Structure 1
Amino acid sequence: MRAGETTAPLVKFGIFAVVTALATTVLAATIVNFRLTPTDTYSAVFSDVTSLETGDDIRVAGVRVGEVEDIRIKDRTLAEVRFTVSRDRPLLSGTRAVIRYRTLVGQRYIALTEGPGRGTRLRPGSRIPLSRTEPALDLNALLNGFKPLFAALSPKDVNQLAFEIIKTLQGEGGTVNSLLAHTASLTSSLADRDKLIGSVVDNLNEVLGTVDRRSAKFSSLLRQLRRVVSGLSSDRRAIGDSLTGISDLSAATSGLLEQGRPALKTDIAGLSKLSGTLDDNGRTVEGVLKRLPRKLNKLTGTASYGSWFNFYLCDFDGRIVLPKTAEAITPDFHVGRARCGR
């Protein structure tokens, strides 16, 4: 291979490598916010620097001109923030430092604004006093006021509206008129549901009217419920002890039933057989029960002569079935004496 044929690919590769290295360097510098321009260091005192972190932006008119270098406590109740600013963006004596929201997830940055008048240039290392600083908005107090509106909007609309509210109140573009116009467009869905809301209100009025008409009974119910709850509260120890006793009783009963289960099973089977026999001989049982009062009267008279009974066999009949021949024998015996007269 000749020298000319190898030189051209090497030149192309060298150009590609240089361009790739430059692009990577620019990308890395952009990601880490690396700046080559000289900077000056200043500080500012804030009453609250919640969520402000080292490395956050310092901006002038929305343009990044520096970053936060250090945050420390000052006089136990204040915070001192040390930051750098490009030397070609000098600060003036009337400069104000305001902490603003960068995103709704909590990212912050410090915005530097000029006060009235021209002012003089601040020397590097100077401090912006508390009187010319302002902490970030209190989102909890701000968004709680819009809670009824947010409850009727989708999460996407809530995020968009909340971010526009913050931008408007921070003075970052947009006007109150545009904010109100966007709010009106979002709340149009509430107007579309006017019939449904009216129905809910009517139903609620009816329920409250019913409760109001029965206010005396409702008050009595609440008093009785309070009395019951108070009684249960005062007897809670006795109730707890009784529950323990019930638990012990259930355990003992379970053991007793477990021991008596075979006998109970046999008794229940015998009762089932007895009930079947009584059902099959229902007429005989019924006849015995009908004759029993008269027989008992006669037995009572017989037993009144002493502690004995005199019985006489007057009639005997029966039916005997032989096992092998299945022949039935029906013996019948009757005594014809006067005492056996009917």
Structure 2
Amino acid sequence: MRSLAAPLVKLAVFMVVTVAATAVLAISIANVDLSSTNSYQARFTDATLLLPGDDVRIAGVRVGQVEEVAVADRTQALVTFSVAADRKLPASVTAQIKFRNLVGQRYVSLGQGAAENPNAVLNPGGTIPVQRTKPALDLTQLFNGFKPLFQALSPDEVNKLSYEIIQVLQGEGGTVETLLSHTASLTSTLAQKDQVIGEVITNLNTVLTTVNAHGDQLSTVITQVQQLVSGLAEDRVPIGQAVDALGGLTTTTAGLLDEARAPLKQDIANLGGLVRTLNENEQTVEHFIQFLPTKTAALTRTVSYGSWFNFYLCEASGEVSVPGLISTPLDIPVLPASQPRCLR
């Protein structure tokens, strides 16, 4: 039994500490106030996006939270909120819904209103009338007024300026002077681009002036282009037929090339062989080309009387042999070379 007592004690201590830490964490996340509180109500003309659990603050210090938001009299919002019991609200207390951040979270800010008796307090369960409450700032209407400026700024500058505007107009921090100085710095940044903008406008004026000076030519070009397009539209059927014919021609040409490809390849190969043969017999080719004019002249003289060749027989001879009688053939000159042309 003693051996089990120590581990059980350690386990019990661990479980107690773990449960306590988990409970504290859950209370912190849920923003639950376990202290004694008093409940109050306030009427607003608009309580948009105010949710249960949102903070209730006095001078920026959290003193309670919103418990419920409901509709009252069909035209007003009735907000029920709790405040720590040790916080006494004056009878002239005021309430205003303010922005907690740009994401849209809100909280209720309580303040001190003007009263004849400063010591009078608002009893628990009391209601702050609508005359002493203010709804949240209408960001849509506010930012619409800054829309021309926002269009010329970067997203980071827009976020920074928007947050400062909300803070100033809600009275949370900064002054109008700070806001104006920041706006002035942004405006100065835009003003530094005035020269570039002026040059762009000047160049644009130059272009427009040049176009205006050639208005007649531009009008003629536009008219001619219109006529061309109209003519093409009217002749679209022949143009389509011509395109189809070109397609057929392309197909036929492709077939022709397919048929002629093999013979053409063989011719190119044979042409290579011819070139090699001529190269190997270079001296013979040169000799032929060198004496070709002389031979051509001689051949031309032989056909000068008509489309035939004239031959002159200068000499003829023969041999006669008789078997059994003459053992040695006899050389008989038939036509001796006696003509002058044959003796040259």
TM-score under structure 1 length normalisation:
0.55
SS at match of 1:164: helix
Could you tell me which residue of structure 1 aligns to residue 43 of structure 2? 45
Q: Which amino acid aligns with 2:161?
A: L
Q: Distance in 1 between matches of 2:75 and 2:7?
A: 66
Could you tell me which residue of structure 2 aligns to residue 24 of structure 1? 22
| 1:75 and 2:73 aligned | yes
Q: Which amino acid aligns with 2:148?
A: P
Could you tell me which residue of structure 1 aligns to residue 294 of structure 2? none
| 1:90 and 2:91 aligned | no
Q: Which amino acid aligns with 2:147?
A: K
Q: Distance in 2 between matches of 1:211 and 1:113?
A: 67
* RMSD value, Cα: 3.6
Q: Which amino acid aligns with 1:103?
A: N
Q: Distance in 1 between matches of 2:47 and 2:91?
A: 22
1:111-141 deviations in Å (ceiling 9; x for gaps)? 1111135241111111111110001111111
The equivalences for 1:1-342 within 5 A come to 16-117=14-115, 118-202=118-202
CA shift for structure 1 position 211:
11
Q: Which amino acid aligns with 2:24?
A: V
1:222-243 deviations in Å (ceiling 9; x for gaps)? xxxxxxxxxxxxxxxxxxxxxx
Q: 1:89 to 1:188 in 2, by over 3 A?
A: same
Q: Distance in 2 between matches of 1:24 and 1:9?
A: 22
Q: 1:70 to 1:205 in 2, by over 3 A?
A: farther
SS at match of 2:28: helix
Aligned length, in residue pairs: 221
1:15-35 deviations in Å (ceiling 9; x for gaps)? 554444333222211111111
Q: Distance in 2 between matches of 1:209 and 1:34?
A: 73
TM-score under structure 2 length normalisation:
0.55
1:73-113 deviations in Å (ceiling 9; x for gaps)? 22221121111111111111111010111122221111111
Could you tell me which residue of structure 2 aligns to residue 225 of structure 1? none
1:261-283 deviations in Å (ceiling 9; x for gaps)? 9xx99xx99xxxxxxxxxxxxxx
CA shift for structure 1 position 187:
3.8
CA shift for structure 1 position 170:
0.2
SS at match of 2:22: helix
Q: 1:195 to 1:72 in 2, by over 3 A?
A: same
Q: Which amino acid aligns with 1:171?
A: G
Q: Distance in 1 between matches of 2:38 and 2:149?
A: 46
Q: 1:60 to 1:208 in 2, by over 3 A?
A: farther
Q: Distance in 2 between matches of 1:99 and 1:28?
A: 27
Q: Which amino acid aligns with 2:85?
A: R
CA shift for structure 1 position 154:
1.7
| 1:58 and 1:67 in contact (8 A); partners too | yes
SS at match of 2:53: coil
SS at match of 1:35: coil
| 1:55 and 1:67 in contact (8 A); partners too | yes
Q: 1:210 to 1:167 in 2, by over 3 A?
A: farther
Q: Distance in 1 between matches of 2:38 and 2:140?
A: 35
Q: Distance in 1 between matches of 2:12 and 2:114?
A: 56
Q: 1:199 to 1:18 in 2, by over 3 A?
A: farther
SS at match of 2:86: coil
| 1:101 and 1:108 in contact (8 A); partners too | yes
SS at match of 1:98: strand
SS at match of 2:81: strand
1:287-335 deviations in Å (ceiling 9; x for gaps)? xxxxxxxxxxxxxxxxxxxxxxxxxxxxxxxxxxxxxxxxxxxxxxxxx
| 1:94 and 1:119 in contact (8 A); partners too | no
SS at match of 1:178: helix
Q: 1:167 to 1:7 in 2, by over 3 A?
A: same
Q: Which amino acid aligns with 1:110?
A: V
Structure 1 unaligned residues grouped into runs of 5+: 214-252, 254-260, 270-342
Structure 2 unaligned residues grouped into runs of 5+: 214-236, 250-344
Q: Distance in 2 between matches of 1:84 and 1:211?
A: 74
| 1:97 and 1:112 in contact (8 A); partners too | yes
CA shift for structure 1 position 10:
6.5
